[in-house]
Amino acid sequence: MSSFHRSLVPGRPRRLVLSLCLVAVSAWPLWPARAASYPLPAPGNDLVGRVKVIKARHKDTLSDLARRYGLGYDEIRRANPDVDPWLPGAGTRVVIPTRFILPHPWKGIVLNVAEMRLFYYPKVKPGESGRVITFPVSIGRGNWETPLVTTRVTAKITDPSWHPPKSIRAEHARQGDPLPAVVPAGPDNPLGQFALRLGLPAYLIHGTNKPYGIGMRVTHGCIRLYPEDIRALFKEVPVNTPVRIINRPVEVGWEGASIYLEAYPGLGPALKPGQAMARVRRRLAARAARVPGRSAAEVDWKRVREALRRPRGLPVKVSADGIVDPAPPEGESAEK
């Protein structure tokens, strides 16, 4: 406790002053609930959102900016490979990669583990237009990979208790951090305040008490969201919502007459260049087959190879029309 803090409350014990500070910090709404919600694009189109460029403040880190703009850590790092993640510096241009090629099918929850992003397509009610809500997520690490399955939401749980399986308790014991058989709800519970149970034993979509791990491979297979994001998703998603978990490191889609490609580092064995190109061709052919008048022959394959060589997770125009995307708008302040 600094002399400055002691001077604020003369004669009070340090412990009391510290407690008051902690209460004030916990009560301050630093991260209000917000959700990235977009109207579904017109038929035959696949992209939503836009890429922005903001100017960092002197105290910002990329982790701070990721959470502020609804991104995961790896997501913002890929988009800004030359920016110091812990000290970007005041006035530094930071790319905010909030433009997405929507994964099909547009139904229920679709989670692309390669992208580490969840897309929720609510049912369209009479008189409403379709929309998509998207959040960054953390997924399984190492030998605890998040399974690729089609399942559904079977229950919604508020203030869940955590019953760590024997394998996780054994891992923590080896690290000198033993776990109890049950971790009750509260600030020390890694499940956070809300959880969606899946029709898959031992796997949940849940919050976290360690939000700076969002957007990385850090879990034991479950899917974690920022506390404010799981709160928003929890309110929206009904029981029995279908859930599809995919690993799609290459996504393609159309916007108007232009073809876009979005590439991520694969979670499995690295693809050889020829394998990656073949995968792109199959994806384009499959997508074109669903949209009359579209053809994969319109692709500039040189641009495709460059996008695959540097997978930054940003939609890149790969049409053979000679037109490139304009630079994103610049000058927005991170104060927003």
Asked if residue 138 lies in contact with residue 181, where contact means CB atoms within 8 angstroms, the answer is no
pLDDT in tens, 286-329: 777 777 777 666 788 889 888 888 899 999 999 887 666 777 77
Structural domains of the chain, ranges and CATH numbers in brackets:
38-246 (2.40.440.10), 250-317 (no CATH)
User: What percentage of the chain has pLDDT greater than the value 70?
Assistant: 84
336 burial (CB, 10 Å; 0-12 / 13-18 / 19+) is exposed
Residues labelled as active-site residues: 206, 222
pTM: 0.84
Q: Three-state SS for 250?
A: strand
Task: Tally Cβ neighbours within 10 Å of residue 257.
Answer: 12
Distance of CA 194 to the CA centre of its chain: 17
The position carrying tokens 């694969």 is 266
Place of tokens 């290459």: 250
* pLDDT 10s digits, 1-33: 333 233 333 333 333 333 323 333 333 334 444
Per-residue pLDDT band at 61 (split at 50, 70, 90)? very high
Structure tokens at 150: 């089609």
